[in-house]
Structure formats: structure tokens, C-alpha cells
Amino acid sequence: MMEHAETIHKGDGSGNEMVVRFRLPSGLEVFGLPTKNAYGGHWDLGPTWNYAVMSDRPFLVDAGKFGQGKRLLAMMEAGGITNTDLDFVLISHSHEDHDGGLAELIEATRLKVKAHAIYDQLIRHYPAQSPEPKKKHFPAKCWHCFMPESFYAKNCLDYHRVLQGLSVDVIGDGRTQLGSDVCTYHLPGHSPDCLAVRLGDEALIVGDIILPDISPWPTRKEMFAEVAQVIQPAYTKAAAIFGLSRYLQSLKTLIQVADDHPGLLVLPAHRLYYNDRWNPIDLADRSRQLLAHHIERCGAIVEILGGQPKTAEEIAEDYFEDRLLDGFGALMAANEIVSHCELLVDSGDVVTTGGNRYAASGSTQFETHIQALISDGMASKKRRRSWK
């Protein structure tokens, strides 16, 4: 896969500030522009890979984290792209490492912004509806955030203020055609507004929906209640846009995309290059690996709960290695466990008990439950194939 890649500027071993040109068989050029990210330690994602797609209407996908907008422009120039070459910037999802640099970028370029309709609603402030007083200066997308004030005061508040006035050209659910050979897929789960962008039969920019090496963080269904009043009436059910089940269904869609468009070059938002090497992804294989990973984790949680009821934090302590539980890691780990427990409650294998504890019900139906969640489209696909 990396035969398409030409390194124009060499970055560091994690890929920070590389400039890479991918020349696809049709002649279409895509630039990989990984900007520095804030998070280090054992949950390090590596830089954010932004991409410039030089199609008929050239566009940028993502804008890096807060403070990286101008840096991204400089990296584009190193690749021979000036901002007047670009038509718009598309935001893959509302996480700060992807839209943090947006205000700075727009101020410098006046580029139009495209994003999923949920993004347009979640970046706004609704002080009267904020779940707790200290969050009234946060946009709705950050009401669930569990990071401490020391983190968000330094990394986020300024950029939230600037994004308030942003006007967004919104993209809908399902598949949306953006040009003759460019389309988006709304694939929630990691975030309710995740988009993947397909470039004909040649490449798929997947944001954080699938990543090499690491398993993207799934949202929790319970996050819906907090923002429901902001995003209704379009979405009335948590499971339509939040939670692990929805994430697994998005993986199913990616497997179908891989089936319909074999050989896509997959361009993820983190770790395409990391630890001094490329990490190419096979779309169907990686999606299946991630499905298997989550099924396995569900099994491990049921086993951990075999003895006695436990809180998400206690399950996380049993499940994750100690080094992953340092500092913020403990919060990240517990979040992942809650996502899985929500699914296990749906499958009937886990029940909630007093004191925020989960207990095993004695059944192990999660695998059948997950297969049913992801089976519909796959079954009809197989049937169609056998007629060929």
C-alpha cells in the first residue's frame, strides 16, 4: 500500500510534521499532514493526520488540535499547496484533536466548513441547558468530558469560544455524495458525528473510526441524555448515534464498503506512521479485528464479574494493565468498560445493581447478540454474491 507514498518532508519517529504525498492510480493526489497532538503517555495517539485531497474541488480533512492551524498551513505549503487551492475543510468529528485548529485555519484562509449535522449542533453553547454550572462555558459536545479543569483550561476553552460563531455546511446521515467521485458515510460510535470520506474506488479517509495498533474509544449510550434536548428532534434514540453497539454497526458498514470497493487505501487520523514505521490497514481485516477485540473484551468482563458485583473502575483495574491506569488513564479505562457493560446489559448477560455496580446474570449471549446487531446487511450481501 505504501508504494503510493512519497515523503516530501521527514518528521520524527512518531510521524509528527511529516508531509507525505499519496499518488493514487487515477492520478489523484492526497497529502498526509500529521500535526502534533497533546496527549502523551500510555494512551498516546500520535499526531493527528489531516489530509488535503486534490480532487476537482480540492479540500482538507481536519484541522489538527488547538494551536496547530497555522502549522498545518505551513506544512501544506511545504507540499506545494496554498490555501487558495482549497475549496473547503471537512471535519471528521468533533474531537478537539481534529477541529481544535479550525478557528485559526479559517481566520487565515476563509475556507468553508463542512461537517455532519450533529457537529453543527454540538459545537454551540446552550448555557441554560448545561448539566452543571461549571460547564456552561462548554459547548454541548464537551458536556460529557471527564478531564479535570487543569486540562481543559489549558487546552480547550479558547477554541470553544471561537467555534461558537462558525457557520457549517451540514452533511446528513447515511451516504452523501460531495462531488462526482467523493462521498461521505456517517459512522457514529466513536463520536456521534463521525464521517468517513471515500475517494472513488481508491481511498477511504476514516478519521478515528478505525486506527492501526489501537482500538478507538467507544462512546457510552448514557451520553445521549445530556445532549438529547440539543439534537432532538432529529435523533430520539441513544442507540442511533452513541455507544458500543452503534460503533460495531459502523464497523459492519466498513466491511461492506471494503467488499464493494476492494483495495481502498485506508487513511486513518492517527498512527499511519508511528514507531519509525508505516502501519498500513486492510479495511475489512482491521474492521473484523476490532469486532473480535470487542467481543473478546465482553467475554473478559463477564468472566471478571463471575465472582462478585463490581463498579466500572474495579472491572477496569482487573482488566487493564497497571500502566494504562495512571492518571487520566483510569478515567479512559473506566469509560471503555461502561461502554461494554451497556452492551452486556442489552444482551442480558449483565445487570446493574446498587452502588453503580454491575453483576453477571449467568448467561453468555453477547456474541449472539453482537452477531445479530451486525448481521442484516451482511446476510443479504452474501445472498447477492452467490448469484454471481
Which positions lie near Zn ion, rule CB under 5 A?
95, 97, 208
From 310, 321, 315, 312, select the one nearest 300 (Cα to Cα): 315
Q: Which is nearer to Zn ion, 78 or 214 (CB)?
A: 214
Residue 42 or residue 357: which is nearer to Zn ion going by CB? 42
Residue whose C-alpha is closest to residue 345's, from 332, 329, 361: 361
**Minimum distance from CB of 313 to Zn ion (Å)?**
23
CA distance linking residue 332 with residue 217, whole number of Å: 8
52 to each of 58, 62, 66, 96, 168, how far by Cα in Å? 7, 9, 19, 19, 19
Q: Report in angstroms how near the CB of residue 194 gets to Zn ion at its nearest.
A: 8
Nearest distance from residue 334's CB to Zn ion, in Å? 18
Q: Angle, nearest 10°, between helix axes 244-260 and 329-347?
A: 80
Which CB atom, from 99 or from 202, has the smaller least distance to Zn ion? 99
Distance CA 290, CA 282 (A): 12
Q: Nearer to Zn ion by C-beta: 211 or 373?
A: 211
Strand partners, 350: 360
SS3 55: coil
> Which one, 67 or 348, has the nearer CB to Zn ion?
67
Within 10 angstroms of residue 384's Cβ, the number of other Cβ atoms is 9
Q: Are strands 59-61 and 88-90 parallel, antiparallel or unpaired?
A: parallel
Q: In angstroms, give the least distance from the CB of 96 to Zn ion.
A: 9
208 or 336, CB closer to Zn ion?
A: 208
CB of 300 to Zn ion, least distance (A): 24
**Closer of 254 and 315 to Zn ion (Cβ):** 254
Distances in Å between the alpha carbon of 274 and those of 15, 56, 75? Answer: 6, 31, 18
Q: How far is the CB of 366 from Zn ion (least distance, A)?
A: 25
| Nearest distance, CB of residue 251 and Zn ion, angstroms | 15
User: Would you say 97 or 193 has its CB closer to Zn ion?
Assistant: 97
Which DSSP state fits 376?
H
Q: Where are the alpha helices (DSSP H) in 64-140?
A: 69-78, 96-99, 102-109, 117-122
CB of 386 to Zn ion, least distance (A): 38
Torsion angle of C-alpha atoms 46, 48, 53, 54, degrees rounded to 10: -90
Q: Supply the minimum distance, in Å, between the C-beta of residue 208 and Zn ion.
A: 4
Cα gap 90→51, rounded to integer Å:
10
Backbone torsions φ then ψ of 21, nearest 5 degrees:
-105, 125
Name every residue whose Cβ is closer than 8 Å to that of residue 113 and which is 6 or more positions away in sequence: 88, 89, 90, 91, 102, 106, 166, 167, 168, 169
C-alpha cell of residue 22:
499519496
- DSSP letter assigned to residue 19: E
Nearer to Zn ion, 97 or 346 (CB): 97
